[in-house]
Amino acid sequence: MERPGRLLLVSELRVRNAAYNVSLSRSLLTWKRRVSSPVYHPFRPSVCHSVSVSEIISVREEDEENSSRGRDDGSWKKIKEREGKNCRQAFTVMYVERCRQHRWRCAEVTFTCSDVALCQRWVSSIREQLVTITSRPKHLLVYINPYGGKRQGKRIYEQKVAPLFAQAGISTDVIVTEYANHARDHLRTEAELKNFDGVVCVGGDGMFSEIIHGLIWRTQIDDGVDTNCPDETLLPCSLRIGIIPAGSTDCICFATVGTNDPVTSALHIIVGDSQPIDVCSVHHNNTFLRYSVSLLGYGFYGDVLTDSERKRWMGPARYDFSGVKMFLTHHYYEGTVSYLPARGIVGTPRDATRCRSGCVVCQHNGQLYSERDEQNEMDEASDSENDSEWRTVRGKFLAINAASMSCACPRSPKGLSPAAHLANGTTDLILVRKCSRFDFLRHLLRHTSKDDQFDLTFVEVHRVRRFRFTPRHCQSDSDLELDLQESSKRQIFSQICRDHPACGCTPTYSSWNCDGEILTHTAIDVRVHCQLIKLFARGIEEPAVFEDVANPCAI
């Protein structure tokens, strides 16, 4: 807990029918109940509350009568009978209150002052401190997807989010999207970005993908960066992005906030949080395809997505159905993976520590890559991407996954890569080689258990800055010698199997699952861009943070 520092204002105020010592500093608002007797009572808890000024949503002045009407149980009437017609004033402070499972709620406390002048002094002092917080947004551009998830995006925004923005004094320009990629196209061409402090999307991961594609493209075009060149260093976006979850999958919210609760996300936007995020650019033959912030999956996860797209009429259940179907099908794919290992960084994919709020690994590695990028701009050739540093893996794979974050969700609490970081300039490349169905099931089940999911002989994981994949059918003859001991039966009937897939033989190639979207090309070049975008978030907070804030006087 941050120390209060020099006090700006101290008064004795009343909360309901009790006297409190209330103090305000540049960092904390504290109110502690006055103890009438110096005798220690072990069963009477010491009532003390402390709220960070940065997490105060707003303050409003109101009459004592209005503030207590319909809420109290007659205690104010007793005070009025005792004090006659003395007119006192009150002000209400709205602030962030932490709940279980990383949820935030809007709480409020009403202080009653002895006179009007004191009340106005408190209100103006708190507002002055809020004005000094320059990280808070004042004008936001909001995109609402009315069709995503359960088609509740518009209702969620109007009933849960818009009132909070209004109370915090945030003005908004709201656009309800009418077709696919509406938000992306509007950001690319029409949006006057200089008029806003941030962009907010109301929807799922697909809506968030539209926002980053439009915003990153606009930033690069405005600065003359060629997005089709995979070796080009992209410029970071100046505007932060907020996500109000209202989709069927909310992977980004789970990784950056810890929950998919709309109110929690709205409060993170209001207080002006900022969390940098790595972004992967995906290219094919020097042509830009897509950006990825969470998962790139070839093989199993690509097949699941492809099959589920044909069954959209089933709703969210299609993912479970397609997952079981692809597991039983047990397709494997041959190809070559080349990757550039991350050098000189802190952390490995098998660490026990997790990426949390204020992550020192992200701070250290982000600073490291920033210095390297500045040095590479001065040099004609980059030593870090020398051909001699590339590693190559050839084989038959059930799955090839690149996780730029943990990819945790309710169905997979640990995620695909539990130790992946949000902003360390790397992605965790997970290679699952051909194995039995039973062994592959063991690997999948470890996503939901405490066991190390990489501690299997057929699974390997590498923390990389860049990687390339080439499927077998795109390679030269010299690269096709992947298994010299293949049975003669498979060699004899290989052409027949290709012409008749009903035999159950492995198909030639799979598809890439790029953050829930299907890529039409299989041979890709992926590069990680360190901290390319920023979200209105602060990372997942450790449980100890909640205990300290809930009872700060126990520290």
Show the tokens assigned to 85: 């017609």
| Cα-Cα end-to-end distance for the chain | 8
Rounded distance between C-alpha atoms, residue 92 and residue 86, angstroms: 20
**C-alpha–C-alpha distance, residues 364 and 370, integer Å:** 10
Element holding 534 (H helix, E strand):
strand 524-535
β-strand partners of 92: 60, 110
Residue 375 phi, psi (nearest 5):
-70, -40
Q: H/E/C letters for each residue in 408-430?
A: CECCECCCCCCCCCCCCCCEEEE
C-alpha torsion sign, points 158, 162, 163, 164: positive
What is the C-alpha to C-alpha distance for residues 183 and 208, in angstroms, rounded to an integer? Answer: 10
Q: How many CB atoms lie within 10 A of CB 455?
A: 9
Q: Do residues 464 and 296 touch, judged by C-beta distance below 8 A?
A: no
For 26-73, strand residue ranges (E) read 28-33, 48-52, 56-63
What count of residues does the chain have? 555
Contacts of 535 (CB under 8 A, 6+ apart): 240, 241, 242, 243, 252, 256, 273, 274, 275, 277
Q: Which of 205, 261, 273, 428 is catalytic?
A: 205
Question: Is 205 one of the annotated active-site residues of the chain?
Answer: yes
- Three-state SS across 235-251? CCCCCEEEEEECCCCCH
Q: What angle do CA 204, 205, 207 make, to 5 degrees?
A: 70
Q: Is there a contact between 338 and 468 (Cβ–Cβ < 8 Å)? A: yes
- Write down the residue that tokens 């149980």 correspond to: 73
- Residues with a catalytic annotation lie at 205
